[in-house]
Structure 1
Amino acid sequence: MRVLLRDMKHGKIKLVAESLDDLWHLQHIVEPGDIVVSSTWRRERKKSDKTRPERLEKRRVTLSLRVEKVEFYKHANRLKILGIIVDGEDIGRHHSFNLGLGSILTVIKEWKPHLIHRIKEAVRSSKKPRVLLVALDDSSAELALVRQYGLEELGTIFFHGRGKRYAVKSSDEKEEFFKLVKAINEVIFREGIQKLIVAGPGFVKERFAEFLQEKFPELYQKMEMDSVSSGGRAGLYEIVRRGTVERVSKEDRLSYETLLVEKLMSEIARSGLATYGKDEVKRAASIGSIKKLLVSDKLLRSGQVEAILEEVRKTRGDVVIISTEHDAGRQLLALGGLAALLRFRM
């Protein structure tokens, strides 16, 4: 994400969405009641004497909408902002902005501290290396992109006639590796990946690394290798939990959120320095006990916890918004979407 204009006197910030992660951030930045200004397509309205109305051409216009609803379509790389036109043509009518990569918009609102922090984080994250994960075992390779909101699982490549019960010929394995490299290179080209993490149980990952070193030295230079207990989807999330992604990409958001939730669950299990649920967290905030407040992005959008957020900031606690697009975020949501790591017991 890039910031083109920042005019806090008038509550105005102009932004460019440069990635799918940026569109996800905007889903949580733009709220009902905000004014959003952007360029859009709209059909001309003309009076006609003809019985059968002619199809009107669309033309480019700049409109300001008072936002009613925001929808994020991650599989289509789109963000849809729906609202009522308050400036431009057809004031009072409904319209929607369909934003994609490269879209420019101005958001006018009363900016809360956590939203300003979110924009800064999105700008900083756009400069970090992008990471592709491969969980590799004897029978398959599972691929996933590391997004700021979680893992985007890209699919599975199955190795035919492979597995612990089958003897593997070197030539057959190389054919499967060529197939895997083709898939990896397609993702790297499409997404601009700078780092590749290959992990799994057993020795197949080492053989794949040797194959890359011999046949694809440039790809080998991008690769980091790690050991996990299983392949498949479970292997992907184990890579994240082990902190490998964080080490490779430096301060990776997904790893950070996952490790925080894991620490929370550990403290809760041993009745340690943690609490959850709105009433308990509110009480902890009132006595300055909260070190880190963990808030589900879904709960935050409901507007029910603003007072608690302000109380935590006053006592110099950190507020961390946790995405519900990944497993750790869904764990927090199961606890009510609100929890805290504490400085001292209540």
Structure 2
Amino acid sequence: MKYELKDNKGKLLGIFIEREEDLWLLYTLLRKGDIVTMRTTRDVSIGEGEESRRIPMVLSIMVSTMEFQPFTNKLRIRGLIVEGPEEYGLRGHYHSFNVEPGSYIEVYREAGWTRRDIRRLEKYAVSTPRLLVISIDDDEIAVAEYSFLGLKIISSMSLPTMGKIYEVSMDERLGRLKEEINNILSIIQRGNYKTILLIGPSLWVEQFKELLEDQTRKMKIDLKIEMRPYGGLKGLKDVESSGLLHKLLGTTVLQSANQAIETALQRLSNNQRTVAIGLFEVKKAAEQKAIEKLVILDEYLSTFDSSQREEIEFILESADAHGGEIIIVPSTTNLAEKLRGLGGVVGLLRFELYEP
């Protein structure tokens, strides 16, 4: 993401979307009532009695709702039109923007963009690595991409099982695998991956490694091997839940979030009182300025519930104002399930809370 404050008052922010993670970041930043301006198209009637035509124009809408579907490369923003070509009489009508990589938008916030907003942009707008995972066993091969947003399944294919019942030889199986390698090489080239993780039972992993490693060596790709009890789609779920993927990815945000969640669980098991879980407890910790590290699900930051939003903003402002670290966890990651089990928000505290 590229961004720039466009005015001296710090109210207008220009944003260029470069990748899917930028859509997620924008989703967590926008609030109800923000004014978003973007070049779009809309059906309008040019003259009386004429059929409507879809024409390009620049519109500004006041945000009322948003919809972000991970791994679709699209963020949908809906709101009332507050500015547009006068000749079409569009003000007061609803319109939706489909924001995607390559889109440029401007966002006006009457209250202004805070230092916390800008720090969040600085922290999350940087390019993050992606990892290609190939999961194979005796009857299935599955390919997925792991990124900051979680695990996205790219493809899966059944493999012929060897044995007399199926009358499939090793040569026939190898032939199918060679066909699949061509598909995988195309995926690698499109995604510009630097690291590939090959997982599954040792027999099938070693077999596929022999077919793949010459190509990855030529492409200067780091091929990593991890023996797992399962391959295919089941193997992908297994390795994601193990925590190995975010360690290999090297994303400091996910690593910090995981460490904080593990620390919270450890403190809870030891009956330590320097941890707060759930919105009620964390708000109480914020009131006492006790939050040292805050881990929160992105769902809380994109809520349009005004009362809950007010509570969240208070917690964020308190943590930020007193030097606390704020970590936002995408709801699409495996870590999100752990965090939901703790109420969706966790605070590691500097000191025990006092009871009035």
The two structures have a TM-score, normalised by structure 1, of 0.84
The equivalent residue for 1:61 is 57
1:123 paired residue among 105, 125, 131: 125
Please give the alpha-carbon distance, in whole angstroms, between the structure 2 residues aligned to 1:5 and 1:114: 14
The number of residue pairs the alignment matches comes to 339
SS of 1:275's equivalent?
A: strand
Please show how residues 317-328 of structure 1 align to structure 2 within 5 Å. 317-328=324-335
Paired amino acid for 1:111:
W
The equivalent residue for 2:134 is 134
Instruction: Using the TM superposition, give the Cα deviation of residue 246 of structure 1 relative to its aligned residue in structure 2, in angstroms.
Output: 4.4
Q: Confirm whether residue 181 of structure 1 aligns to residue 181 of structure 2.
A: yes
Are 1:245 and 1:255, in contact at CA under 8 Å, matched by a contact in 2?
Answer: no
Which stretches in structure 1 are left out of the alignment for 5+ residues?
A: none
The equivalent residue for 2:283 is 282
SS of 1:57's equivalent?
A: strand
Please show how residues 13-32 of structure 1 align to structure 2 within 5 Å. 13-32=13-32
Are 2:297 and 2:328, in contact at CA under 8 Å, matched by a contact in 1?
Answer: yes
Please give the alpha-carbon distance, in whole angstroms, between the structure 2 residues aligned to 1:157 and 1:220: 26
Q: Confirm whether residue 84 of structure 1 aligns to residue 80 of structure 2.
A: yes
Deviates more, 1:33-42 or 1:211-220: 211-220
1:329 paired residue among 306, 320, 336: 336
Instruction: Using the TM superposition, give the Cα deviation of residue 102 of structure 1 relative to its aligned residue in structure 2, in angstroms.
Output: 0.6
Are 1:197 and 1:223, in contact at CA under 8 Å, matched by a contact in 2?
Answer: yes
Instruction: Using the TM superposition, give the Cα deviation of residue 105 of structure 1 relative to its aligned residue in structure 2, in angstroms.
Output: 0.4
Instruction: Using the TM superposition, give the Cα deviation of residue 262 of structure 1 relative to its aligned residue in structure 2, in angstroms.
Output: 4.0
Assess, with a 3 A threshold, how the Cα gap between structure 1 residues 12 and 132 changes in structure 2: closer, same or farther: same
Q: Confirm whether residue 338 of structure 1 aligns to residue 339 of structure 2.
A: no
The equivalent residue for 1:38 is 38
The equivalent residue for 1:211 is 211
The sequence identity of aligned pairs, in percent, is 27
Paired amino acid for 2:148:
Q
Paired amino acid for 2:144:
A
Instruction: Using the TM superposition, give the Cα deviation of residue 27 of structure 1 relative to its aligned residue in structure 2, in angstroms.
Output: 1.6
The two structures have a TM-score, normalised by structure 2, of 0.82
SS of 2:347's equivalent?
A: strand
Paired amino acid for 2:319:
V
The equivalent residue for 2:70 is 74
Aligned-residue CA RMSD (Å): 3.1
Are 1:139 and 1:159, in contact at CA under 8 Å, matched by a contact in 2?
Answer: yes
Are 2:261 and 2:346, in contact at CA under 8 Å, matched by a contact in 1?
Answer: no
Deviates more, 1:234-243 or 1:313-322: 234-243
Instruction: Using the TM superposition, give the Cα deviation of residue 238 of structure 1 relative to its aligned residue in structure 2, in angstroms.
Output: 5.1
Deviates more, 1:60-69 or 1:139-148: 139-148
Assess, with a 3 A threshold, how the Cα gap between structure 1 residues 146 and 307 changes in structure 2: closer, same or farther: same
Please give the alpha-carbon distance, in whole angstroms, between the structure 1 residues aligned to 2:140 and 2:330: 29
Please give the alpha-carbon distance, in whole angstroms, between the structure 1 residues aligned to 2:338 and 2:312: 19
Please show how residues 238-277 of structure 1 align to structure 2 within 5 Å. 239-240=239-240, 244-246=244-246, 248-251=248-251, 253-272=253-272, 273-277=274-278
Assess, with a 3 A threshold, how the Cα gap between structure 1 residues 291 and 179 changes in structure 2: closer, same or farther: farther
1:278-301 deviation line (CA, Å, top 9, x unaligned): 232233334444321111111233
Instruction: Using the TM superposition, give the Cα deviation of residue 61 of structure 1 relative to its aligned residue in structure 2, in angstroms.
Output: 1.2
Assess, with a 3 A threshold, how the Cα gap between structure 1 residues 205 and 44 changes in structure 2: closer, same or farther: same
Which stretches in structure 2 are left out of the alignment for 5+ residues?
A: 304-308
1:8-51 deviation line (CA, Å, top 9, x unaligned): 62412211112222222222222210011110112344442xxx
Please give the alpha-carbon distance, in whole angstroms, between the structure 2 residues aligned to 1:185 and 1:145: 14
The equivalent residue for 2:306 is none
Are 2:216 and 2:223, in contact at CA under 8 Å, matched by a contact in 1?
Answer: no
Please show how residues 154-193 of structure 1 align to structure 2 within 5 Å. 154-161=154-161, 170-193=170-193
Deviates more, 1:27-36 or 1:90-99: 90-99
Instruction: Using the TM superposition, give the Cα deviation of residue 247 of structure 1 relative to its aligned residue in structure 2, in angstroms.
Output: 5.1
